[in-house]
Structure formats: C-alpha cells, structure tokens
Amino acid sequence: MVCDSCQKKVGKVITPDPWKNGARNTTESGGRKINENKALTAGKHRFSPYTAKFEKCRICRQIVHQVGSHYCQACAYKKSICAMCGKKMMSTKNYKQSSA
C-alpha cells in the first residue's frame, strides 16, 4: 500500500505492459525501440541486490521487501499507512485488521 506521492518512487518492471492502449513501452507511443534489449537498456530500473539496501521495518523489525520503504506490507496493512513514508491512508476505526 503506497500513497499517491510515493507512487513515482516505486520501481518499474522491465517486462512489457500487456495492455496496448496507454502502455508506455509500445512502439506506437515512441517509448520502445524495435529489437531493443530491455535488460541492457533499463539499467536504472533493473533490480540489483548488491547495491540496494533493504531497511528494517520500523514497527516489527523484519527486513522490508521494497527498496526505499520503511514499513513491511503486513504492518502497513494493519496500520493502514503508506509503506514508504508512513502517511495515514484511511481510518481503521471500524475495521478488524488482521494479517492472518
């Protein structure tokens, strides 16, 4: 769960979008070249486990699965907060939040 302001910080996937209309990596929109090797040209969006530093969750101290996040998905869901910045997403007063 990520808020709107943190959505642009989330990493991008190298694989092509299956939906053609509005896809950013089709040849019609100019976002992709023909016979381009995406594994070589998408260097900054590619996952590198040696350079990426995974933080620990600020609540439960587990290792977070996403680079740049401070909260794990389970804690972000239970508290209804953004996993990256910790901003409150919605009120959980009338909800029974459980991870199981």
pLDDT tens digits, one per residue of 25-37: 566 655 666 777 7
In a domain, 45, yes or no: no
Residue of 98, 76, 77, 93 lying closest to 85 (CA atoms): 76
For 55-97, write each residue's pLDDT tens digit: 899 999 999 988 889 999 989 988 889 999 999 988 877 877 6
75 and 99 Cβ atoms separated by less than 8 Å: no
Buried b (16+ CB within 10 A) or exposed e, 35-50: eeeeeeeeeeeeeeee
Residue 73 resides in a domain: yes
**For residue 57, what are the domain limits?**
53-89
pTM for the structure as a whole: 0.59
Q: How many domains does the chain have?
A: 1
Instruction: Note whether residue 95 is domain-resident.
Output: no
Asked if residue 72 is part of any domain, the answer here is: yes
Residue with tokens 């808020």: 3
> Is 65 among the domain residues?
yes
**Do the domain assignments include residue 64?**
yes
DSSP letters along 44-62, please? Answer: TTS--TTT--PPBPTTT-P
Please enumerate in sequence order all residues whose Cβ is within 8 A of that of 24, keeping only pairs 6 or more positions apart, or say none.
Answer: 17, 31
